[in-house]
Amino acid sequence: MELKFYGCSRAWVQLVSRCLALMMLIIILSARPSYSTTDGYPLGKQDEKFETWTFHSKIDLPGKDGALYLGMFFCSGTLYFLKGNFAHIFWLDTSTGKYTYENNIFFPPFEKVTHCEKSLNEKFHDSFFRYNARKKIFLTYASFTNFCAKLTLFPEKDTFDYDQICQRDPEGKTFDWYMFPRMNIEASLNGGYDLCASGQGHFQHFWGEKIDESGDWIVAHLDSGYDIIISDIPPSEDDSSMLPEEYILISDPDGKGQKISSFEYSVHEWAQSGNKGKKYPVHISVRSVERDLSLDIRVLKKDQTSNLLGVEKWFGYADIEGRIDNKPQKGWAFFIPVGIKEK
């Protein structure tokens, strides 16, 4: 006679018990901290709540009237009290006008982020990125539903870092950051593209207690060799920025950097995107007496919103033109506007 437990067989009870034990083991292993080091650059800490690595690029499409703007966002942090890894990948093909994004979330030990001493080797399911310290190049591979991309990135300039933004405050600072403002790119695209191409972009590494989302963020690459960061800019309903001021960082073609704190930032057009009742700036201008700077920025597609685990974000790309040092300029930009709620 088969023994029953409240209407369940012994085999069923044993199966449920084993599943619960396996889940507890996964939770324990998932909670282990990750470690971050990058040879020759600022290091993350073992106990940081969040750490992100992002690549943004413009890849020329031979034979097509347009380009592929490709962004990769990798994050390691605490999610629902567990240490997890998150990958967000998005791209805009201006030859078709289509904007696409994908999300993946993983929990160790099945998808473990590996941080090794004097190296950077991150794996997120079928995607990865690595830093080759000997060759001083970055390698990244991202697998999408309809195509995959393999990129080799060659830094062309020295990094921007936190100390160029403001005076360091070890007691009050809640994040750290650096960026390679210009990188040449060799790309191999498969599935719908099937070609080798070249491009340009940037890489940044961020870690700390939380991500600063209190202001608009723009990274511009000009054809003449200038690279520009415009950050912590209104409009924003949240005045809790972790930075003490708005700023512009300019990297000249020769790599020399300069910070500008006095400038005007104007929004000329708004557009509603997504389903959260928010509107985002889609045409802006930036002007400063210093360096005779005047830039006009227009997004390439008005709706470039993504859904990150239920949170709407506007990650997209724009055309940029204007003047610096009394010389005409043209280029492209990666743009993260905060947006404001519709009244």
Same domain, 226 and 206: no
Higher pLDDT, 231 or 234: 231
Same domain, 206 and 261: no
Higher pLDDT, 311 or 109: 311
Q: What is the pLDDT of residue 210?
A: 62
pLDDT bin (cut points 50, 70, 90) of residue 109 is low
CATH code (residue 307): 2.40.370.10
Q: How far apart are CA 208 and CA 47, in angstroms?
A: 9
Same domain, 14 and 72: no
Structure tokens at 249: 């960082």
Q: How many domains does the chain have?
A: 3
What dihedral angle (degrees, nearest 10) is formed by the CA atoms of 66, 124, 274, 332? -30
Same domain, 110 and 21: no
DSSP string across 182-216: EEEEEEEEESS--EEEEEEEEEEEEEESS---SSE
Q: Which residue, 267, 264, 231, 265, is CA-closest to 250? A: 231
Same domain, 197 and 69: yes
Q: What is the pLDDT of residue 24?
A: 55
Same domain, 196 and 293: no
Residues 243-283: pLDDT tens digits? 445 788 899 999 888 888 888 888 899 888 766 678 888 99
Residues 8-67: pLDDT tens digits? 566 665 665 666 655 554 444 443 333 333 444 444 444 567 778 889 999 998 888 889
| Total-model pTM | 0.79
Same domain, 183 and 261: no
Same domain, 253 and 155: no
Same domain, 79 and 196: yes
Spatial neighbors of 144 by CB under 8 A, at least 6 apart, are 89, 91, 100, 102, 191
The yes-or-no verdict on residue 156 having pLDDT over 80 is yes
As a whole number, mean pLDDT of residues 85-104 equals 86
Q: What is the pLDDT of residue 164?
A: 55
Residues 131-152: pLDDT tens digits? 777 777 888 888 777 778 889 9
Same domain, 249 and 271: yes
The yes-or-no verdict on residue 236 having pLDDT over 80 is no
Residue 312 burial class via C-beta count within 10 angstroms: exposed 0-12, middle 13-18, buried 19 and up = middle
Q: How far is CA 51 from CA 135, 243, 308, in A?
A: 24, 18, 16
Task: Tally Cβ neighbours within 10 Å of residue 33.
Answer: 13
Q: Which residue, 200, 204, 205, is CA-closest to 222? A: 200
Higher pLDDT, 241 or 202: 202
- Which residues constitute the domain of residue 90? 38-211
Residues 283-321: pLDDT tens digits? 999 999 999 999 999 999 988 888 776 677 888 899 999
Q: What is the pLDDT of residue 173?
A: 54
Same domain, 142 and 48: yes
Q: How far apart are CA 139 and CA 43, in angstroms?
A: 19
- H helix runs in the chain, sequence order: 10-30
